[in-house]
Structure 1
Amino acid sequence: MEASTVSAHPDTARVACGSSRRDVALLPKAHLHLHFTGSMRHSTLVELAGLHGVHLPDALVEDWPPRLHATDERGWFRFQRLYDIARSVLRTPDDLRRLLRETAEDEAAEGSGWLEIQVDPSGYAAMFGGLTPTVELILDAAREASRASGVGIGVVIAANRTRHPLDAKTLARLAVRYADRGVVGFGLSNDERRGRAYDFEGAFRIAKRGGLLSVPHGGELLGPASVRECLETLRADRIGHGVRAAADPRLVGALVQRGVALEVCPASNVSLGVAATASDVPVRRLYEAGATIALGADDPLLFGSRLARQYELVRGEQGFSDAELAELARQSIKASAAPGDVRARLLAGVDGWLDG
């Protein structure tokens, strides 16, 4: 893939020192696309499964990370089934607290100073006493994990495209109720082919009115029209994945004009068959067009790599320089819901990483 010699981002004009490559794990950044169960350590999955008597398929044990291909419905069903099995090992409040504590520790090791973790509480409510108790447990666990790790944590409550839009409205109202206790956004996940964005406009209107970021998934399994629906109908502030927008230059222009960030997850895109290789994920093309990009790991439990690896992939496969990697980190921080003091500290750290 050819890269333009002129970047749309002025900060990338800064020249990296020599030809040495800085450690991307030391680059301060924000992680804006990480799912709750999908953030679990593989070792923790195996341990909790043994503790609670949950049988894990070979794809989650000997053959981990699993071979996945979700661009057809059968493949997506297998991916979702594995995710549901993994979620079933979370049986006690201590399990949830452990997951968030270990996730925050891993984020700190990856250079992430701010994390926005996405969860659909409906998937955990039966085990933890209902929607409200589940959300309160997750928020309490997030605060504990943040204090212990030094990583700021915001929670994105996400609706499920495969469920009724009225369920999404219930979740949106719940999310707004906790907007001052750690909920920062409202999302929409699962198979794009089974629930169109416009069906959930009412829920996102509730969330936006309540001051939450609109962060739906789009443009992963479906094309540019899916991204446009998120942009126009759900008034997205960020779009999960969004890589299919690259096929429509006018749409990319609209994203740039409105400052809507794309949460691009290179390893996930390859694992699920959205792109054949990491070099085929259109990070370079979107970046050169001026799009705001926040790299994310999506579900490390199923894809086998965390946040720093995504920076390594675009460096190795798409020729991103250290200066451009620093700009990607800046974009992730600026697109986040992090408080002003956290943003300032992380942005200063990015400059220090590049200057050092």
Structure 2
Amino acid sequence: MAPDSRARTVTERRDLRALPKAHLHLHFTGSMRHTTLLELAERDGVRLPDALVEDWPPTLSAADEKGWFRFQRLYDVARAVLRTEDDVRRLVREAAEDDAADGGVWTEIQVDPSGYAARFGGITAMTDLVLDAVADASRATGLGMAVVIAANRTRHPLDARTLARLAAQYADRGVVGFGLSNDERRGSTLDFGPAFAIAERAGLLLVPHGGELRGADHVRTCLDALHPGRLGHGVRSVEDPAVLDRVVEAGIALEVCPTSNVSLGVYPDLASVPVPRLLAAGATVALGADDPLLFGPRLLGQYEAVRDAHGLDDDTLAELARMSLRASRAPSDVLARALADVDAWSTGQ
């Protein structure tokens, strides 16, 4: 192919920003803009580590316990700058603005209210605040939004039951799912089964993390013990064809976050993130940014990353967007309109 012909081919690729998509793996504090972190820290005299200032985005690895501890420490520092209700509302509004600018039409933001309870009046008050902020942000931006309440697997499983009951109380008021986050190498997944049973009885979507820092064996454990409708990450299910077959047959969507997988050392580079292998096996893949505050790229960046790293064509990227929408808890009218818009994008109309 002549150089000028190649340039035209690249230029003719459709604009991914215009591709309607859902964002299903976005953590609350991790959704904060870096500029907002710096501004809030300066306001209150919070000294940030160099990794969150001059060296941002930080160089991270979760290959060992020390690496994960460093990641968690940075996350905790970032959480500490959220000191007022207006800070929370600003974070949610800006996350909505950023997703909408990236072509998002629906976002499910994941929060552990217990991580903010001491400052904001308890887990119920924090949940009320987040849901109110989400409703305001949705009205202001036109982005559909909902909340996933997530337990922390480094805390006692009884705490997870408390959060599951809380999530159940809000099942018809903006909370659509129940998750389990933090280092999946910590604690026993089986111990969280009762909490997920509470959420399951309430009709919530079950979305635990699994298959990122641990392999396919842990995906199997999650399937058996937690009955997920989606898996946070789940990429390492490719390591066992039988496990991947179970995921595909059950229709469990995988919330794949390419740039965070590389940043945390799960894979050495974007070309190694097994998106094509998952798609070839028939898996449902929903791309997510995870924690853009710590990893850099937001939702659009995930689509750009897999396009560039794997050479995915526009039809495949459109199907990834459809998968994200179908795996969401978006209302039927939002879903139908968004899918029609994906078809229009795909055909160039």
Shorter-chain TM band? over 0.9
Partner of 1:36: 28
Q: In the alignment, which of 253, 257, 281 is matched to residue 245 of structure 2?
A: 253
1:295 maps to a residue whose letter is L
Partner of 1:178: 170
The separation in 2 between residues aligned to 1:289 and 1:134, in whole angstroms, is 41
Partner of 1:288: 280
2:338 maps to a residue whose letter is L
Quote the sequence identity (%).
Answer: 68
Partner of 1:6: none
Partner of 1:64: 56
The separation in 2 between residues aligned to 1:274 and 1:342, in whole angstroms, is 34
The separation in 2 between residues aligned to 1:33 and 1:225, in whole angstroms, is 22
Normalising to structure 1: TM-score of the pair?
A: 0.94
1:116 and 2:108 are equivalent in the alignment: yes
Mark the runs of 5 or more structure 2 residues left unpaired by the alignment. Answer: 1-8
Partner of 1:232: 224
1:121 maps to a residue whose letter is P
For residues 126-145 of structure 1, the aligned pairs below 5 Å read 126-145=118-137
CA shift, 1:274, in A, is 0.3
- Specify whether residues 254 and 19 from structure 1 end up closer, same or farther in structure 2 by C-alpha distance, changes over 3 A only: farther
Secondary structure class of the residue paired with 1:172: helix
1:200 maps to a residue whose letter is F
Secondary structure class of the residue paired with 2:110: strand
For residues 40-55 of structure 1, the aligned pairs below 5 Å read 40-55=32-47
Partner of 2:13: 21
Partner of 2:76: 84
CA shift, 1:197, in A, is 1.8
1:304 and 2:296 are equivalent in the alignment: yes
1:223 maps to a residue whose letter is G
The separation in 2 between residues aligned to 1:72 and 1:348, in whole angstroms, is 44
CA deviation map 1:167-213 (0-9, x unaligned): 00000000010111100000000011112321100000000100100
2:266 maps to a residue whose letter is V
CA deviation map 1:49-107 (0-9, x unaligned): 01122110110001100000112100000000000000000000000000000100000
The separation in 1 between residues aligned to 2:144 and 2:218, in whole angstroms, is 31
Secondary structure class of the residue paired with 1:69: coil
1:157 maps to a residue whose letter is I
The separation in 1 between residues aligned to 2:201 and 2:312, in whole angstroms, is 38
1:151 and 2:143 are equivalent in the alignment: yes
CA shift, 1:19, in A, is 8.0
Q: In the alignment, which of 196, 212, 227 is matched to residue 204 of structure 2?
A: 212
Secondary structure class of the residue paired with 1:315: helix
CA shift, 1:18, in A, is 10
Secondary structure class of the residue paired with 2:24: strand
For residues 313-324 of structure 1, the aligned pairs below 5 Å read 313-324=305-316
Secondary structure class of the residue paired with 2:255: strand
Secondary structure class of the residue paired with 1:246: helix
Number of paired residues? 340
Normalising to structure 2: TM-score of the pair?
A: 0.96
Secondary structure class of the residue paired with 2:118: coil
Partner of 1:328: 320
Range that drifts further, 270-279 or 193-202 = 193-202
Partner of 2:91: 99
The separation in 2 between residues aligned to 1:255 and 1:222, in whole angstroms, is 16
Q: Which runs of 4+ in 1 moved over 3 A?
A: none
The separation in 1 between residues aligned to 2:320 and 2:11, in whole angstroms, is 19
